[in-house]
Chain A
């Protein structure tokens, strides 16, 4: 099976002189759930952004589904980008816009600019937006302002927006770093679902190894911009862990899915339980 994404000798040097990505080569197969880990500043965000050229790589090549991203013209790049969804740590929704309009934004790459300016989305796009919002369990919030939603809900809008692109690849830059443990799991489960059900390849950076082990089919660790580990999640033992995170690091567990160590209120307990259920996860952090 052909790799959906091939990265060759990728280097990113910022104008400040920082070598954020230092010669990364990777092949990612269709259907993988790749978790990117590494210390803060190890280059996870830079690598992810080089893939869709939100950050312009300094040298090296990125090939997405046979198309050379790094050499693409502006128009070609937009056609490539619309098949690569992306979700962000800070959700990056247009705060004053409605949930629906934020979701519809995922279709922009397929539609002419005049339609955007006239504010007349296609009927089929609106229908698709409701469908995708329904998938992440917030169709009833469609007309709420984006910044009126909780963090977990906003990230689900971010996922719905990305789904509108019909992506082959989903990039997620620390999608749950601003969320509490229970909500983190509810969001991760949607990423897991689109990976398993829709066959969308996911590359997701995470801060917690426990989450990486739970959701990843493959873990890639970055250290100082280079790949320090690439393999199955269960192959990361104590020694490898210390290699990636340094000698002084201790592995911590992000809150478990079903129960929490501290006593919980009845609602919290219910939420945590819901969050761990993929079918009910939609109402977990309401």
Chain B
């Protein structure tokens, strides 16, 4: 390759003669990565010696000996809603309600968190920064941690689960919505502003038509995610089928646990399929 430059009497670029893999910066990165893995293995004490293969095999076997008695009420005090399938439906609705709550808060806030709408004066610019910071902070707290906190604050149960999930989603949807607004074509905004329209009219006429589809798409994506997350909420006190799963594992009822896991898998797969179908039709 260097001949090209030599033949024309040009200086040979240094980049040509360097092997990028042996460049000192890369060597440092490789050494650091290996160091991290080594230290990680040392301090986390990953130890499989206490695992019992025979016992594990037994449990796995039991997980497939499904206990169908959880599909019917156990006594005269239980109703359909106490059965596993009843709780599965409740769980789906926990995810849906949490999404709805999150939309109600995130939708108006997202306008305050969009730079292209909020620039112009110091006050709105400040609001923009604060709103986006709040979104980021909320999003950075894992939803399971939020459920645990809300469980302490509100008592274990559906309220904690739904509100925690909603809270987390305000951060996620708020950011997605705001970014959808920031991604719009600024041309119509400029043109509508130039007609003498006020801010509300500009948003209504030039912004809304451009964000309807991304908003629907993001909302369905989060609905899908939330319905998948909902069964897990019960494991940390958020209500729904997760509580049943948690109980049956604690009581060593692996047949029931296996069936519940299967039901969750089927539900999630169906949600996945439905959400992909709807979103594909949107775009």
Contact = CB atoms under 8 A, between A and B. Distances in A.
B196 A78 contact: yes
Nearest to A97: B209
Given A105-B205, A108-B201, A116-B205, A92 B187 contact: yes
Per DSSP, are chain A's interface residues mostly helix, strand or loop, or mixed? mixed
Interface string A102-123: 0001111110010011000000
Contacts of B206: 94
Interface string B179-191: 0000001011011
B204 A117 contact: yes
B194 A108 contact: no
A113 B206 CA distance: 13
Nearest to B213: A96
Contact of A92 (B191, B204, B210): B191
Interface residues of A, number: 35
Interface residues of B, number: 19
Q: Taking chain B's interface residues, is the majority helix, strand, or loop, or is none over half, making it mixed?
A: helix
A78 B199 CA distance: 10
Contacts, number: 82
A113 B191 contact: no
Contacts of B187: 88, 90-92
B197 interface: yes
Given A94-B205, A108-B205, A116-B205, A78 B198 contact: yes
B197 A105 contact: yes
B197 A109 contact: yes
A82 B201 CA distance: 13
A161 B190 contact: no
B191 A158 contact: yes
B275 to A, nearest CB: 23
Contacts of B195: 81-82, 85, 105-109, 161-162, 164-165
Interface of A: 52, 54, 78-86, 88, 90-97, 105-110, 113, 116-117, 158, 161-162, 164-165, 171
Interface of B: 185, 187-188, 190-198, 200-201, 204-206, 209-210
20 contacts: A54-B193, A80-B196, A81-B194, A83-B196, A88-B187, A88-B191, A90-B187, A94-B205, A95-B210, A96-B209, A96-B210, A105-B192, A105-B205, A107-B195, A108-B205, A113-B204, A116-B200, A116-B205, A161-B195, A165-B195
